[in-house]
Amino acid sequence: MKLLIIEDSARLQRTLKRGLEKEGFAVDTAGDGKEGYAFAAAYDYDVLILDLMLPGMSGLEVLKKLRARGFKTHVLILSAKDQVQDRIKGLEMGADDYLIKPFDFDELVARTRALVRRRYETKDPTIQVGTLKVNTALGKAYRGDHEISLTPKEFTLLEYLLARRGRVVTREALLEHLYAGYGEVAGNIIDVVVCNIRKKIKSGDEPSLIETRRGFGYVIP
């Protein structure tokens, strides 16, 4: 899924981006409030990870402006401001979660995945279609009792299609949500990833789980 990190510490920004990309997320970054607000208002992100003490425009101001304009993107505040009143204010202004620095990276990933599930209105981290089971919290997929080895991008693409089961997803939408700076990605990368997933999740003579709608995109019916 696609994330935006709005964080003025270049070191923390790089660390978060690198770690979250290893988890399969596509990650954009912004170093100040004004740039972050411009990104958040222009693109469709699954989750925003937002610092509060930002140059140019505070994190709370970014949040306030986004909510005033009706943007419903889930927001996780990541801040060193650890007083109860700080947390209450952030949540009352429209944040969906609040994590205090210093933090455990695995907890950040778990909270981010929980917000993604909330966006797609599913509480259960396990999605099952036939004999295929995908645990979005653990990042694991199974065909029956057999675990399937998927790369982070393969898992994320499969998860994205499952979250939109029954709806055709265009290649452009998949590119945007799976790859930061996707304009530099090879045009057929989505077809390659889908082909690899199909091979890995295929079971006997069963039809392919992922259907191609030529001229439109892909769908899991």
Domain boundaries, the chain: 2-119, 126-219
215 against 60, higher pLDDT = 60
Q: How confident is the model at residue 107, as a pLDDT?
A: 96
* Distances 113 to 105, 190, 191 between C-alpha atoms, Å: 12, 22, 25
Report the length, in residues, of the chain. 221
* Distances 107 to 45, 75, 81, 156 between C-alpha atoms, Å: 20, 15, 18, 19
CA 155 to chain centroid: 12
Q: How confident is the model at residue 181, as a pLDDT?
A: 57
Assigned token pair, 212? 């191609």
206 against 195, higher pLDDT = 195
**Looking at domain 126-219, does it have CATH number 3.40.50.970?**
no
* Distances 33 to 62, 99, 134, 158 between C-alpha atoms, Å: 6, 18, 36, 33
Structural fold of domain 2-119 = Rossmann fold (3.40.50)
Q: Which of 5-14, 124-133, 155-164 has the lowest mean pLDDT?
A: 124-133
Range 52-77 burial, b when 16+ CB lie within 10 A, else e = bebeebebbbbbeebeeeebebbbbb
Q: Which of 46-50, 174-178, 194-198, 199-203 has the lowest mean pLDDT?
A: 174-178
176 against 95, higher pLDDT = 95
- Dist CA 114 CA 137 (whole Å): 8
What angle in degrees, to the nearest 10, is found between the helix axes of 59-68 and 84-92?
A: 20
- Dist CA 148 CA 116 (whole Å): 22
pLDDT in tens, 180-204: 654 556 668 888 999 999 989 887 7
Same fold: 2-119 with 126-219: no
Q: How confident is the model at residue 8 (pLDDT cuts 50, 70, 90)?
A: very high
